[in-house]
Amino acid sequence: MLKYKIILAGSVNVGKSSLIARFCDNVFHERTKGTIGVAFKKKRVNVDDKHKIEFTIWDFGGEEKYRTLFPSYCSGVSAALILYDITNSSSLEDIKAWVKIVDENAFPEVIKILIGTKIDLKDQREVSIELAKNASKKFNCAVDPIETSSKTGEKVEDAFMNVAREIINRFMQTCPSCGEIFSKKLKICNFCGN
């Protein structure tokens, strides 16, 4: 089982805890309390027949006072999901500060993906997909932004599966001798030694 650490970042009330609850437990609570400091959950996913991944997903309180904790948790992460609320334009502007922390504290190959939340509130949209795509390009994110709804579950699974596929593509290789999957950082397969 391949294990990877993911962090979620974003402004207060963008829906980080709700996204994790929907992905890990398939639940949604209308009145989710804000995260105090840091919380985490684990989830196993099957990317395909050969690739199984266990995510440890870290959720950070979006309040300013918790941002001092965030840099230390960036160490060793494979991916950073940076969330914005499509109904709150200032949440998109705030991602700049979160990306800066990730860029300064995570390793250079970290996968960054912007996640738009609350697409079930389309009539209240303030952030266009074009604005989000521009931000994604500006911050060198791995893929275009993925817009989700924790309430309905729309595209929540897609967001995390994109991360899983990107991890496999960037960090793993298949041994031509034994067919096992192992880290690209290794010069020889840790299963057969070739």
Contact 156, 145 (CB under 8 A): no
Confidence band, pLDDT 50/70/90 cuts, at residue 8: very high
Closest of 112, 22, 117 to residue 62, by C-alpha: 117
How high is the mean pLDDT of the chain?
A: 90
Contact 82, 112 (CB under 8 A): yes
| pLDDT of 91 | 96
| pLDDT of 113 | 97
Q: HSE (CB half, 13 Å, CA atoms) of 101?
A: 24
Q: Average pLDDT for residues 61-69, to the nearest whole number? A: 67
Reply yes or no on whether the pLDDT at 62 is more than 60.
no
pLDDT digits (tens, 9 = 90+) for 150-162: 999 999 999 999 9
The H-assigned helical ranges of 40-193 are 70-73, 89-105, 129-138, 156-171
Cα gap 22→2, rounded to integer Å: 22
pTM reported for the whole predicted model: 0.88
pLDDT digits (tens, 9 = 90+) for 28-57: 977 665 555 577 899 999 988 778 899 999
Name every residue whose Cβ is closer than 8 Å to that of residue 152 and which is 6 or more positions away in sequence: 120
Cα gap 169→175, rounded to integer Å: 14
> Tokens at residue 139, please?
């911050």
pLDDT digits (tens, 9 = 90+) for 103-161: 999 999 999 999 999 999 999 999 999 999 999 999 999 999 999 999 999 999 999 99
Cα gap 62→54, rounded to integer Å: 25
Reply yes or no on whether the pLDDT at 68 is more than 80.
no
Cα gap 156→111, rounded to integer Å: 17
Q: Average pLDDT for residues 80-89, to the nearest whole number? A: 97
**Number of Cβ atoms within 10 Å of the Cβ of 169:** 12
> Tokens at residue 61, please?
């309180």
In the CATH hierarchy, which top-level class contains the domain 2-183? alpha beta
**Number of Cβ atoms within 10 Å of the Cβ of 160:** 26
Phi, psi (degrees; rounded to nearest 5) at 187: -85, -25
